[in-house]
């Protein structure tokens, strides 16, 4: 899969381009976007230049997730692009639609084996969007020469998540760091 980048998003630093796939745009999350999202502000839709569905955010994108990302942004203000929103590219009918999230759990520059996570709203699941987003994210992560591998964890009963990982070349390596999870990893080729 190839990917290209563009600086088309409103509110994103010029040095942090979107990652484009055939159907998606992975929008770099800024602090302003995150705060507007958490506050459920109408400004959020404007900042990401996308329609925000009524059932936003996806499962797992709770207060703890927001606080985690906000803390990392505050601790590492010079790092950008490691957290992303997933949006469908605009169609003939108008604006793009926010459908999920993906990204690393820390800025990429801080380790050589970043953990990734992802989530898609239920209405957009089982259409290949998570797999497409994760493929583009992994390719972008491996464009950083110091990264030797990428890892992800999930619960063993979450078959769709396991499918996303295996379709993207991640292999089972054992128990995950959180109780009851399994860990998958993809090494640089």
Domains of the chain, each with CATH number or no CATH: 4-148 (3.40.630)
Sign of the dihedral through C-alpha 37, 43, 73, 101: positive
Distance CA 95, CA 176 (A): 38
Task: List own/partner pairs for 88-95 with CB under 8 A and 24 or more apart.
Answer: 88/23, 88/24, 88/25, 88/124, 88/129, 89/20, 89/23, 89/24, 89/25, 94/51, 95/49, 95/50, 95/51
The pLDDT, as a whole number, for residue 95 is 81
- Both tokens of 119, joined, read 């989530």
**182 near 155, Cβ under 8 Å?**
yes
Predicted TM-score (pTM) of this structure: 0.88
The pLDDT, as a whole number, for residue 42 is 87
The pLDDT profile of the chain, 189 residues, written as one tens digit per residue, is 333 434 343 334 445 788 999 999 999 998 899 899 888 888 999 998 899 999 998 887 888 888 888 999 899 888 888 988 888 887 667 788 999 999 999 998 899 999 999 999 999 999 999 999 999 999 999 999 999 999 999 999 999 999 999 999 999 999 999 999 999 999 998
């Amino acid at each position: 899969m190839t990917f290209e980048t563009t600086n088309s998003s409103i509110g994103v630093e010029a040095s942090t381009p979107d990652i484009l796939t055939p159907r998606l745009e992975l929008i770099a999350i800024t602090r302003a976007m995150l705060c507007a999202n958490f506050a459920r502000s109408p400004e959020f839709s404007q900042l990401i230049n996308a329609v925000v569905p009524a059932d936003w955010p996806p499962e797992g994108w709770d207060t703890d997730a927001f606080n985690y990302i906000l803390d990392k942004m505050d601790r590492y203000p010079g790092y950008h692009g490691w957290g992303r929103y997933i949006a469908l590219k605009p169609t003939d009918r108008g604006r793009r639609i926010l459908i999920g999230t993906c990204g690393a759990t820390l800025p990429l520059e801080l380790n050589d084996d970043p953990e990734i996570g992802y989530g898609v709203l239920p209405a957009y699941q089982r259409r290949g969007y998570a797999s497409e987003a994760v493929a583009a994210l992994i390719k972008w992560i491996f464009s950083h020469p110091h990264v030797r591998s990428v890892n992800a964890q999930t619960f063993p009963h979450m078959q769709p998540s396991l499918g996303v990982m295996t379709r993207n070349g991640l292999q089972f390596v054992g128990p995950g760091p959180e109780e009851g999870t399994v860990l998958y990893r993809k090494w640089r080729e």
